[in-house]
Each structure stands twice: as structure tokens, then as C-alpha cells.
Amino acid sequence: MTKKFMPVFTMILVLAFILTACATPTAAPVATEAPAADATEAPVATEAAPEPVTIVLWTKEGEADGGLQYVQGLADAFTALYPNVTFEVVNKEVETLREDFQTSSLAGDPPSLLWTVSDHAGPFTTAGLIQPVDELFDMSKYVESVVMNGSTWAVPISSGNHLMLLYNKSMVPTPPATTDEFVEVAKSLTSGDVYGFAYNQTEPFFANPWLGGFGGSVFAEDGVTPTLNTPEMVATMQFLYDIKYATPIMPLESDYNGADTLFKEGKAAMLINGDWSLAGYKEALGDNFGVAPMPEVSSTGMMPAPMTSGVYFMIPVDLAGAELDAVKMFVEFVTNLENQTSMVTTLARLPGSIEALSIDAITSDPILKASSEAMTYGTPMPTVIEMRCVWDSWKPEMISMLASASGTTPEDAAANMQAAAETCIGQLE
Amino acid sequence: MITSDVILKSLNEVGVTVLYVLGGTVVIEFILWLLLVRLLKWRYAMPFMLLTPALIGLLVLVVYPLVWEANLSFMNMSLKHFRNPIYIGFDNYIRVFKEPVLKQIYFFPLLGQTVLWTAINITFHVVIGMVLALLLNRQMRGKGIYRMLLIIPWAVPQVIAVLAWRGEFHYEFGFVNIMLKALGFQPLQWLSEPVANFAAMCITNIWLGIPFMMVILLGGLQSIAGEYYEAAEIDGANAWQRFWKVTFPLMKPVSTPAIILGTVWTFNNFNVPFFINQNELETSDILVTGLFRAAFQYNRYSFAAAFAFVIFAILVTYSIVYLRSSGALKGVRD
Amino acid sequence: MNANTNSQPERKIKMQKKSFFNSGREDSPFKRILIHATLWIACLISIYPITRILSVALRPGNRLLSADLAIIPIGATLESFRIVFFEKPFLSWIWNSLTITVATAIIGVILAATSAYAFSRYKFPGRSVGLIFLLTTQMIPAVMLLVPIYILAIKLGLVGTYRGLVVAYAVTAIPFSIWILKGYYDTIPIDLEEAARIDGCSELQAFMKILLPLSTPALAIVFLFNFTTAWNDYLLARIMLGSKEDLLTWPLGLQRLQGQFVTQWGQFSAASILVAIPVMILFLYTSKYLISGLTLGSVKG
């Protein structure tokens, strides 16, 4: 407490003022070039070696799950093919990446290429920080990407990010097909310090698939008006409340790490988590690890609809000339069949290019196959900036409803979130 | 990995820095000397020459950003108006008071939360710090060890300590709930329930801030001459009276700056509320975390700039009032 | 209240004079036990959360949470420490932090010492305004300044280097340092310096040969303060260094251990422990200075 962790004010070199009058300031290693008026005339990449450039690649892939090493490997392989192109691969955590990209764009010093999550396309497009990719690549080769205002804004690398029902085969031999079955099975397993089910109760992302199962959706047809105060939402929230308090099958407090630990330690028979976590559970539970789509909602007969998104390439708006050429070649390199196949086997993620979706590596691995099947029930996550408002409004209501047996009621929660979302959207101007 | 490359690079960078600083200072001082001493023969040349490097740094790096932010606060920059914001006058300042500054909370409730947060923390800091200081202020064995162990919360990097505490408040696995259960109480949902979360924030910050207060107050105690106590004892004062009539007033010159600084730092404390409040409960936000969210999470840059100035104005007003009333500025004005 | 207008030798005696609870030796055993017990409980509360971090660091697998309350967990292993030390660029983070921090502390102390001298020994127009200005700078919410600083840094070409960062840290710590040092200087009678001047020293010499040696405790505090400011900082380092992998300081490095969904908690905790140790040692070593310094400086208001 004594000293603020952040300095009260930041200072820059006092003397730089004087000295920069004499010395040339060393600009950051990659300065984006002044936009050339004919940037779109750049030819489609050929095999000709590009001019010497350094690509500054910001990636959200970290070391923990091998992602960063994979990206670095791709960069090195590309440099081996085209020695003129060198890379500076920088890893930034997702929120940090978004904030830093916005700040650095404001200051006129953005990186050359982004490897990041699809929902970043919303803020970046709204602020005019990235360029459309329709003219640069053949988008028909890829799964559905981010389309806003009639243009496509990102190139898929991997797709998925969808939530699934994960289960421990030693406790649950066959996965439940409907929610009634699900509650039954979980109830029978909940005793002592073992729970039938656990999930991250603090993030609405994990509640969202159920909304689809009850027939609702967060936005209206136009994709930007929130529809949170609906009977479907109330039913969803009621369902979540019930499995916590009415027919208890889960722990009273479990966030992402909590649920993850319980499942790994065998203290939770079933879990809801996404495709990024599969590798970790395969390692922890071995053959006892099972994957299935989330169970059908008994009262409506509909399958839950997890939101799918992906990891995409995005290109800063002012990138042009030789840098843009090199970036184009790299993007196509990363998304070619060979590299997409290696991504599937190394990172256990579903690919973004259509032809790679039917490779053996996927069809012959039961986990990947189940994941691929689960993805078919998914719906693409909206990337508009209004989506952020939806999450931010839903989260506190979900938490306060689940905070105690007599917390906010589902009806109130739905009404509150709608109000908050509308306020938030109104403030977006 | 740490290779000789890395070492050399660091040293090189630092070496360049030092050269810049030295070189720059020499240049500045020389110019000033010529100007003030030789040319103008100003009698205040010396202090200004001494102060100038720091002054330049502060002016450039505090004033420039403040001016930039002030400028920004009169515009409408946000995600939708990122590259070409326009001027909208005082609108942002009015909106700070009329619209929710977070998703749902308005300005005055947030201010209230911040004041409550500050008051609770400072009270405990001072009281417990004082108690510990009094206990340590005696001849006894192991004083050094106690001091050493009690300082640890201050010495550990704050973010690490806060994350450690957050782990302790975990419902299932955290130490706090395990103790509560062992004592027969109901465990609390520290991270999701508003009141419990606020309490968790306070507990963490109190733990963090006690050593600082304790050290300062201990020093203050040690500087009080024994004669005062002897005189009081002769006059028949008991321990309680001795404390209030002798210790307390004599500690004021030490405790006042500590309390002011402590209050300001607590008011503006970002790390503790932000990291304990993992689930973004708006009831656990204080002004500065709200400011951070407005600026970086909700991307309302201009609004955040106005918001920041309002916070700043509040603190400045408070400090001036407090300083005036406690007479601590007396030493400054002579 | 004016106990400190005495001359040097007397003051030293007062520093060593025991407090009025001299009666430590005369306390009843019960009172003594009570006091020791209280202190022990306080110490326990002080260190417990840190020991928990140690547990996570020693725990096998990547478990942040576990029902196991033991400080040395079952199956304790030094694996996380080993990975952090040898497989991550941890040592380079520490080294980078160290070089920046030491440079900051040295520059900061010099700047503060000279500036505080001006405030303490000279009466010049703008003196009180300056002091109040310094105080108000402590109240600015730092968040406000990040973006303009970044923009300025880009314009001046300081991003990705240490230059800007070191001076930024040093100047950040200046206001608090000046207040502390000035307070301390104020308690040292000016007669000593005047005597030296009469003997033929220049102002600067008097400053360096007389005043500075006497202010060692306050200088130690300022050094420590600058050190911790630079050592612990994350936000400034992030905007200045964020994209240069080989110049990272430890807060930035530690953040690298946190993935989007998966965090290597074992390694994160091991790294945290390792990072906290040097600071704790430094603190403990200088804590004796802290106590004498902080008070003598401020008693005079």
C-alpha cells in the first residue's frame, strides 16, 4: 500500500528534448510506412522473394499451451524459405493485446500483423484500425470469418473455441443426451466432496450455450439490439439457479480454475469447458476423458448453441508496400494445408481452412472428432462492439443471482441486464 | 536465457541512459550557469540550478500529459471516434455526474464507496500500526525478529501479495473459508458476494498497509524524549492518560504526513481493488478502478479524462483542507 | 517538541535512549507472555499468505488450488523452480530489472538530494509553491498519464529502450524523495555548513562533505524508495518495453506465464517467490535506517 504500484506520473527522458534536437530519434524497429495510395494494387504473392522486411507479429498465443512456440516455429520456417523476411514475435495476453494495439495505433506505431481472437475485430473495425482482407486473399477457402459492414476483416487460422460437455468416463460411462438425464446423473454422483458437475459460474460465456438451448439469443435479427429481457433468458437463468440450489449438483463457488481443478482431481464428474482445454484434460485423465456436445434441453428439445469464434489474422489499416506483401505471403503460408495439419496435431485445434477440416488427423482422433461434431451445433460469436456490452451486463447479474439462494431473481436479473446493456450501448458513441 | 548477450545488452542500454543523463545535466547546468550567474547575476541562481533537472522532468512529464488529457477531456474520443474526435466542450464533465460511470453505478455512490474504503483502511492501519508500534517499543528479546517478520507485507511486491490473498479467499480452497468452517461458521462467497468482496478487499489492504504505519509510528515513538513521560508519571498520570496526553500529541508531526500520504495512496490504490475484484463487481470498484475501466475496458477515452480530473480535484481539495487544519504547512511557508 | 534543536552528539544519545516503556524488564511475566503471544500471532498473519505461494510453487502439477493446507505439500518438488530458472528467461528478467532499478535509484537519489538541498537551504520565490506542487503530483491518478506518455515516448523514439524508463522512474519518485530529504536536512543545523564555508569551502563542497554524510539514513530511504518504485512497476514498463522480448523486466515476464486460459501457476508462484526474495533482503537490511530516518526528518514538520 505504501507506494503505489504504478508510478504517480510517468516521465520520459528529460534531456531527450534537448538531445533529440541533435540526434535522430531511433524509431521503433518497424515503422509503418506512409500509406501508399495504390496499396491495393499489390500483386498476389508469387514465389518471388520479397524485399527485406521485419514483420512485427503480435500473438495472443502463450507458452503455457505450446502456442507461442508453434508460432515462433512457423516464423522460423518462413524465414528459412525467404531469408529476407525476419520476424519479431511478441506474445501479449488477450486484453493486453487489444489495449496495446489501440494505444499504439493512436500513437502511430502499430505492429505489422496480429494473431488474435476474433472478437477483437469488433473494436478494431469500429475504430478503423484494421483493413479488410477481401481483396488480399481468397476468402472462399476459409470457414466463415468476420464479416461486418459488407467486408471481411480477418483471416481464420483456427476455429472453435466452443464449449462442450466434458466428462470423466470412470464416473459417467455414457454422456447424458438431455438435460433431465444430465441432472439425474449428476445428482446421483454428488456426495461428500465429489460433485456431479462443475463449471465456471463467473463468466456468462459459460452460460450462453444454454440460452441457445432455450431458444433465445443475445441479439435481435439486426445483430446489434440486445434481447436479454426475454422469457428464454429467464428460463436459462432459472435453469442455472436450479442446478445450483434446487437440485444441487455443483459446488457453491467455482470459477474457471476451481472447476478445472475439481475435474482434474476427479472431484467433478462433468465439466463444461472449451476446445482449448482438451489437451490438458487428455493428459490428466487419459482414457477416462470423454467429450460430447452439451445435452439437449429437455423442455424445448433444442440443442444448446455454444458460441464459436476463432483465432484470426488481422492486418493494421496503414500497412502497405513491401511489408504488406510479406505479410500476405506469411498468412498464406500459415494457412496452407501442410501447416494447418501440423497445427491440428500440435495444438489440437480445429483449422480455419476448409480443406483442412477433413484431414485424417481430425477424423481419426475421437476427441477431435467429438469436438468437431460439437462445433456443428455452434453459432458464430458476434464480433460487434455491442457484444462487449452484453457480456459486461450479463456477468454481474449472473453472479449476483448465483451468489446466494436468495440472490437476484432470474426475472430481475434479465431485466437488469437489458437495462445495463442498453445504457452501455448508448454510451458507445 | 541469460547469456552474455543479454547482460551486455542491458549494460549497454543502461550505460547509454547514464550518458544521456549525465551529458544532458552537464549541458543544462552549463547553459544555466552562463545565463543566470554570468549574464543576469541573479541571486537565486544556485537553487534554480540545483532544481532545474528535476523541474524540467516534472514539468515536461507531468504538465504535458495533464495538458494532453485536459485537451482530450473536451473532445469525444472513444472507439467510434478514434481517429477523428471533435470538441464537445464541457459535456464530458457534466456526463461524469449525470451518467453511470461504470455500467450501472453513478459517480456519487462510487465516491461514497471510495471514501468508505479509505476510511476503513486508514483507521485499521493507524490503530493496529500504533498497537504494534507500542508493543515493539520496549526492551525485549527478539525485537529484531519481530520487526523483520512484520515488515514482510510491505517488502513483498504488491501484486504478488494481492494475488496470494485472492487465492486465500477462494470458496473451496482458500485458507479463510477453511478457517471459518473449522471454527463452525458458514463459509462466505468472498469473490462473488458484494459485501464479502468489499470486506476481502479491505482485509487485504489492511494486511498490506500495516507495516508502513507501524514503522513510521515506531520511529515517532522512539523520538519522544523519556523526560516527558517521567514528568507525567510524577504528576500521577496513568498509562491511558500518558498515551493520550503525551504520546499522541508528540507523535503528530510524524503521524500527520503519514496519514495524509496513506490516505491519498489508499484513495488511489489500484492494485488491491482491481485484482481482488476479479469478477468485476461494481460494488467493489473505487474511483480509480472505475477510471481504468472507463479508459481501457470501455474505451471511453475522453470521458475517462474528464473523470480523472474530477478525481484529482477531489484529492487536491481534501489535501489542502487537511493540511490547513492540521497546520502541517507551517514548516513550508517560512 | 523541539527535542531536535540540540547539537549533534546529544541527538545521537537521544536516538539511543530507550523509550518510556523502559519498564520492559519490570513487566510482569504475564504481561510479557501476552505481548509476545500477540506479536507472534501478528507475525504469523504477516507471513502466512506468502508461505501459501511457496506451497503452490512446490506443488507438483500445475495446481493453483488444492485442499491441502500444508506449507510443504505432499510430493513437494522443486520442478517449478527448476523450470523457471533454467527454461524460462527468468534470470534475464531479473537482470534487466536489476540494472534498470539500480540505475534509477542512483539517478533518483542524486536528483532528490540536490533538489532537496535547494528547498531546505535556500529561500527563493516559488519555494512553497514548489513544495505544494510536489505534494499534489502524488494525487494524480496514474492511469490518466499512460497514453500521453506513450505518445510522447514514441515521438521521442524512446520506446523499446531503457533511457526513457529509467528517467521516468527516477522522476516519479522525486516528490516523495524531496519531501523526506528536505525534512531531514531541516533537522540538521545549518551552523555546521556555515562553519565550513567560513573555512573556505564552496557551497557545493559544504553540501557534499558536511550535509550528505550526515543524511545517510534519509539517503538510504530514498534509495530504497526509488528501488521499489522501479522494481515493482508494471504499467510503465509495459508501455515502454512491452514489445521487446529481451528487455523485459520481471513484472512483464511474469505476465508471460499467464496464458489466455491456462496459467502455469506453479511456475508463476516459483517466480514470485524468487522475485520477492531480493526485495525482502534489501528491505530487512535497510530497515534499521528506515526507522531512524523517517522520524528525525519529519519531527520538525
Check whether residue C141 and residue C255 sit in a common domain. Answer: yes
Specify whether the CB–CB gap between A272 and A164 falls below 8 A.
yes
Q: How far apart are CA A414 and CA C46, in angstroms?
A: 43
Check whether residue C120 and residue C55 sit in a common domain. Answer: no
Check whether residue C183 and residue C63 sit in a common domain. Answer: no
* Each residue's pLDDT tens digit, C131-172: 888 888 888 887 788 888 888 888 888 887 888 888 888 888
Q: How far apart are CA B258 and CA C24, in angstroms?
A: 27
Burial class (CB in 10 A: 0-12, 13-18, 19+), B320: middle
* Each residue's pLDDT tens digit, C204-234: 888 888 888 878 777 887 888 888 888 888 8
CATH number (domain holding residue C268)? 1.10.3720.10
Q: How far apart are CA A334 and CA A72, in angstroms?
A: 12
* Each residue's pLDDT tens digit, A31-67: 333 333 333 333 334 455 667 889 999 998 877 677 8
Contact C143 B295 (CB under 8 A): yes
Task: Provide, as residue numbers in chain C, all residues whose Cβ is less than 8 Å from the Cβ of B273.
Answer: none
With an 8 Å Cβ cutoff, is B192 touching chain A? yes
Check whether residue C149 and residue C61 sit in a common domain. Answer: no
Q: Which of A405-419, B70-84, C1-15, C133-147 has the highest mean predicted lDDT (pLDDT)?
A: A405-419
Q: How far apart are CA A1 and CA B266, in angstroms?
A: 7
93-132 of C, contacting B, C-beta below 8 A: 95-96, 99-100, 103, 107, 111-112, 114-115, 117-119, 122, 124-125, 128, 130-132
Check whether residue C273 and residue C135 sit in a common domain. Answer: yes
Among C77, C104, C138, the domain boundary falls at: C77
Task: Provide, as residue numbers in chain A, all residues whose Cβ is less than 8 Å from the Cβ of C257.
Answer: 63-64
Q: Which residue blocks in B33-106 are alpha helix, DSSP H?
A: 45-58, 64-73, 91-98
pLDDT of residue C23: 45
Average pLDDT along chain A: 82
CATH homologous superfamily of B97-333 equals MetI-like (1.10.3720.10)
Contact B61 C149 (CB under 8 A): yes
Torsion from C-alpha of B207, C172, A102, C156, nearest 10 degrees: -160
Which DSSP helix (H) or strand (E) runs through A113?
Answer: strand A113-117
pLDDT of residue B161: 86
Nearest to A5 among B80, B171, B271 (CB): B271
170-229 of C, contacting A, C-beta below 8 A: 170-173, 175-176, 225, 228-229
Q: Which of A163, A172, A210 has the alpha carbon at shortest distance from A194?
A: A172
**CB burial readout B249-283, b (16+ within 10 A) else e:** ebbbbbbbbbbbbbbbbbbbbbbbbbbbbbbbbbb
Strand, helix or coil for residue A85? strand
Kindly give the parts of chain C with pLDDT less than 70.
1-27, 61-70, 242, 258-263, 287-301
Which range, of A13-27, A140-154, A311-325, averages the lowest pLDDT? Answer: A13-27
Specify whether the CB–CB gap between B1 and C96 falls below 8 A.
no
Q: pTM for the full model?
A: 0.77
Q: Which of A361, A367, A377 has the alpha carbon at shortest distance from A308?
A: A377
In a domain, C6, yes or no: no
Query: Which one of A2, A6, A10 would you mutate to disrupt binding with C, by most C Cβ within 10 Å of its Cβ?
Result: A10
Neighbours of B92 (CB within 10 A): 24
pLDDT surpassing 70 at residue B169: yes
- The answer to whether the A41-160+309-370 and A163-305+385-426 domains have the same CATH topology is yes
Check whether residue C139 and residue C29 sit in a common domain. Answer: no
Specify whether the CB–CB gap between C4 and C295 falls below 8 A.
no
Contact C53 B6 (CB under 8 A): no
Contact A28 C145 (CB under 8 A): no
Check whether residue C183 and residue C245 sit in a common domain. Answer: yes
Could you tell me how many CB contacts below 8 A there are between chain A and chain B? Answer: 160
- Per the structure, the complete domain to which residue C211 belongs is given by 86-299
**C-alpha C55 chain-centroid distance:** 26
DSSP string, C146-187: HHHHHHHHHHTT-TTSHHHHHHHHHHHHHHHHHHHHHHHHHH
Cα angle for residues A59, A62, A65 (degrees, 5° grid): 135
Contact A103 C145 (CB under 8 A): no
Nearest to B155 among C3, C52, C283 (CB): C283
Contact B193 A403 (CB under 8 A): yes
Directed axis angle between helix B107-136 and helix C29-58, to 10°? 120
- Best CATH choice for the domain A163-305+385-426 from the list 3.40.190.10, 3.40.50.10540, 3.90.1170.50, 1.10.10.10: 3.40.190.10
Contact B161 C50 (CB under 8 A): yes
Please, what sign has the CA dihedral across residues C17, C23, C29, C31?
A: negative
Q: Which of B310, A106, B308 has the alpha carbon at shortest distance from C147?
A: A106
Query: What's the complex ipTM?
Result: 0.77
In a domain, C5, yes or no: no
Which range, of B154-158, B254-258, C24-28, averages the lowest pLDDT? Answer: C24-28
Contact B270 A15 (CB under 8 A): no
Check whether residue C188 and residue C246 sit in a common domain. Answer: yes
Check whether residue C166 and residue C263 sit in a common domain. Answer: yes
Specify whether the CB–CB gap between B257 and B332 falls below 8 A.
no
In a domain, C224, yes or no: yes
CATH topology of domain A41-160+309-370: D-Maltodextrin-Binding Protein; domain 2 (3.40.190)
Beta strands in chain B (DSSP E): none
Check whether residue C46 and residue C117 sit in a common domain. Answer: no
Contact B79 A19 (CB under 8 A): no
Could you tell me how many CB contacts below 8 A there are between chain A and chain C? Answer: 173
Task: Provide, as residue numbers in chain A, all residues whose Cβ is less than 8 Å from the Cβ of B296.
Answer: 99
CA distances from A332 to A119, A329, A344, A348, B225 (A): 22, 5, 17, 20, 79
Q: Which three cell numbers stand for residue C91?
A: 534470470
Compute φ and ψ for B56, nearest 5 degrees.
Answer: -60, -45
Contact C95 B175 (CB under 8 A): no
Q: How far apart are CA C284 and CA C231, in angstroms?
A: 16
* Each residue's pLDDT tens digit, A105-163: 888 889 999 999 988 998 899 888 999 999 898 888 888 788 888 888 999 998 888 99
Contact A4 B269 (CB under 8 A): yes
With an 8 Å Cβ cutoff, is C25 touching chain B? yes
Q: How far apart are CA B32 and CA B48, in angstroms?
A: 9
Q: How far apart are CA B141 and CA B269, in angstroms?
A: 36
CA distances from A270 to A213, A259, C66, C165, C263 (A): 18, 10, 19, 49, 22
Q: Taking CA atoms, what residue in A is nearest to B151?
A: A2
Q: Which residues contact A49 (CB under 8 A, 6 or more apart)?
A: A82, A83, A84
Compute φ and ψ for A309, nearest 5 degrees.
Answer: -150, -160
Q: Which residues contact C110 (CB under 8 A, 6 or more apart)?
A: none
Q: Where in chain B is the domain with CATH 1.10.3720.10?
A: 97-333
- Specify the amino acid at residue A350: L
User: Where in chain A are the domains?
Assistant: 41-160+309-370, 163-305+385-426
The mean pLDDT of A269-296, rounded to a whole number, is 88
The mean pLDDT of A228-254, rounded to a whole number, is 90
Domain count, chain C: 2
190-249 of B, contacting C, C-beta below 8 A: 207, 211, 215-216, 218-226, 228-230, 242
Check whether residue C69 and residue C102 sit in a common domain. Answer: no
Q: Which of A93, A90, A96 has the alpha carbon at shortest distance from A55?
A: A90
Task: Provide, as residue numbers in chain A, all residues whose Cβ is less than 8 Å from the Cβ of C238.
Answer: 96, 100
pLDDT of residue B128: 93
Query: Which one of B75, B138, B191, B307 would you mutate to disrupt binding with C, by most C Cβ within 10 Å of its Cβ?
Result: B138
Work out the minimum CA distance from C173 to partner chain B, whole angstroms.
11
